[in-house]
A and B are shown apart, each in its own frame.
Chain A
Amino acid sequence: MPKSSKLPVKLNLGCGLNKIKGYINIDCEKSVKPDMLVDFGTAKLPFKENSVDEIIMFHTIEHIRKPYHKHIFAEARRVLRVDGRFILSYPEFTKCVENWKTNYLGKKEFWEATIYGAQRFPSDHHVCIIEPKALQRELTKAGFEGIKHTPEPEEHWNTITVAYKSERRHATYDEVVRGLKYKLVS
């Protein structure tokens, strides 16, 4: 059988200046000239359901306020195909604070920047704390599974979290209490 010529669809959400070849680079800031201008914190991603193979958010999530995370994860789940990969990388707050406290490598200002952002321009601030356990809870609620965390190879204070879209979104406790019809049993 001939191979499918369909190329995988991969999104780079919140690309900023870091455009990646082979990915559709999406940002809400016009000045970085993304491939697509979408305010993905509030608006729907312009992709059909189950049409995307991979979504990455590299050092982006900590620049977005927490109230918007639920929408972003929900949209990511909507457009990803089942078993599609959602990869996030971010500075792990407790590790950065520990490095700051101990003045690791004598670079206190650098550790301050890992906590608060480099602040070179507007939106270059870190506006929320990202920790793997809390992120895992949010991703699970949003309907992801197989969530794993690993430190970046050369910068161990940064963490990479990978999650896969589950076939069915598990109902949350609140939804069950509110009387949804279906629940999952294994």
Chain B
Amino acid sequence: MRITIAINSLIATRYQAYTNHIQTFYRIGRNHPNLDVVLVNPERMTIDRMKNMAADVALDTQSDYLLIIDDDVLLPVVPRPQKDWLDLLIAAKADIVAGDVLIRGYPFNHMLFKWDRSHTGLFQMPQVPKKLGLIDVDAVGFSLCLIKTELLKKLTKPYFLTGPNNTEDIYFCLKAQEEYKEVKIKADTRIKCGHLLWDEVISPDNKENYATYYKKQFPDDTIDRTKEAKWRGANYIKVVHSVVDQIPRKGKKNAKVVKIAS
């Protein structure tokens, strides 16, 4: 089996990610002795351009998978004989399968997306099921993501494109759904990754505590919109009535109904 691993280093890799990734590659080599690895690690390249290049490399080298890792993601280190995250991603047997990475911004939702009921927009999943495992999703972030090269062969280029309202990962997932209807997009919530925030790390295990700390530190950034909605229910009706009752209503016209001659 051959995997192309793509890691984008925009300017410089931070030391936490550097040491974590060194561990990662050591363990990939030790735990998977029969695995061929092609490493794509360009510098100073935009994320979508880098990923398109990595996809071309994966196809040219006839790799079975393209594995994308962001340079600010910390991967879980699992001691043998437990299955490591690469085993779990491959065992998912999905076209696109991601680990569980949190978004680097309050309220730290999971980088996993589902369509809303009217299929007009994707929403970030604020929570995942308590029982960890494989879940079906409609789009994933590509902080840690395994893509089958068979899927790349079915899609048109460019595979990844960053737009004004979308990142390249959402673009790819939506493109896959449009061009290949049977695409399977999954996430394995057992693979809990850390996402670097300045000097700290956010992961599913410390999300609650960090969110509490963040709300105290930055209250303006963390407006509780649910409280806003409750205010609307209680006092809003009084406000609206006070405004509406003051609007003068002109007298109704006396309408006369006339039958048109047929």
Contact = CB atoms under 8 A, between A and B. Distances in A.
A162 B252 CA distance: 15
A125 B239 contact: no
A102 B239 CA distance: 28
A184 interface: yes
B237 A20 contact: yes
- Chain A interface bracket (under 10, 10 to 19, 20 to 34, 35 or more): 35 or more
Contacts of B226: 17, 120
- Chain B interface bracket (under 10, 10 to 19, 20 to 34, 35 or more): 20 to 34
A18 B236 contact: yes
A121 interface: yes
B243 A20 contact: no
Interface stretch (B4-12, B117-125, B168-176): B117-125
Interface string A100-136: 0000000000100100101111111101000000000
A153 B243 contact: yes
**Binding site of A, secondary structure by majority: helix, strand, loop or mixed?**
loop
Contacts of B22: none
Given A65-B118, A89-B240, A122-B123, A17 B256 contact: no
Given A56-B237, A58-B232, A59-B232, A123 B116 contact: yes
Contact of B249 (A122, A124, A164, A182): A164
B216 interface: no
Interface of B: 114, 116-118, 120-121, 123, 126, 223, 225-226, 229-230, 232-233, 236-237, 239-240, 243-244, 247, 249-250, 252-260, 262
